[in-house]
């Protein structure tokens, strides 16, 4: 699956008519670019472009598409590549890709010495098994 860079998300927001939330006086100044969008049916969308990495993983991108932008990957890339704004509704009934790890489990594994690269790609069942092995060793 093709994944975006922060610039692609920014381009999508511009093409799709999102409004950038300015750092107005009295409001906290964010490290992120915050964008919102009102749809004709009253729904409000929100996204914040993080500067934590210069790329997005597939599971996270799937969630951003489904929950924040509310478009399909095809609609997203069409907007980014050609400037064609997506037509809503008509989206995403499928579950997002990628199995997440519960936060507490991920933190325990890293604290127990598991390299981050090894954590990548572990299913929850594998992660729990690995935790058991690491705990058994201590």
Partner 1 sequence: MVRWQMSEARRDFSTLVERASRGEWQLVGRRARAEVVLADAAEIAELLAAAFPFAPQVFAEETGVEIWLPELEVYGQGSTLAEAQDDLVEAALDFVDAWETELRVAPNQRHKSGHARRVQLADDRARVAEVLFDATSGRPPR
Residues that bind partner 1 (CB under 8 A): 21, 27-28, 30-32, 34, 36, 38, 42-44, 46, 48, 50, 52-53, 55-57, 59-60, 63-64, 67-68, 98, 100-107, 110, 116-117, 119-122
Nearer to partner 1, 74 or 110 (CB): 110
Closest distance between partner 1 and the C-beta of residue 88, in Å? 12
Nearer to partner 1, 2 or 50 (CB): 50
18 C-beta neighbours (distance < 10 Å), count: 20
13 C-beta neighbours (distance < 10 Å), count: 21
Nearer to partner 1, 3 or 85 (CB): 3
Q: How far apart are CA 28 and CA 90, in angstroms?
A: 36
Do residues 32 and 50 make contact, with C-beta atoms less than 8 angstroms apart?
yes
Closest distance between partner 1 and the C-beta of residue 38, in Å? 8
Closest distance between partner 1 and the C-beta of residue 40, in Å? 12
What backbone torsions phi and psi does residue 108 show, to the nearest 5 degrees? -65, -40
Nearer to partner 1, 11 or 108 (CB): 108
First to last CA, the chain: 39
Closest distance between partner 1 and the C-beta of residue 14, in Å? 18
| Angstrom distances, CA of residue 24 to CA of 17, 31, 37, 96, 104 | 20, 14, 18, 35, 36
């Amino acid at each position: 699956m093709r994944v975006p860079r922060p610039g692609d998300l920014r381009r999508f927001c511009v093409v799709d008519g999102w409004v950038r939330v300015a750092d107005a006086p009295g409001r906290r100044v964010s490290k992120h670019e915050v964008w919102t969008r009102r749809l004709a049916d009253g729904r409000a969308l929100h996204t914040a472009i993080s500067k934590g990495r210069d790329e997005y993983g597939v599971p996270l991108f799937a969630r951003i598409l489904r929950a924040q932008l509310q478009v399909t990957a095809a609609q997203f890339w069409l907007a980014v590549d050609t400037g064609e704004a997506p037509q809503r509704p008509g989206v995403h009934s499928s579950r997002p890709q990628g199995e997440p790890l519960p936060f507490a489990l991920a933190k325990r594994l890293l604290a127990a010495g598991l390299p981050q690269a090894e954590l990548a790609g572990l299913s929850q069942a594998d992660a729990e098994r690995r935790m058991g092995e690491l705990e058994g060793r201590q």
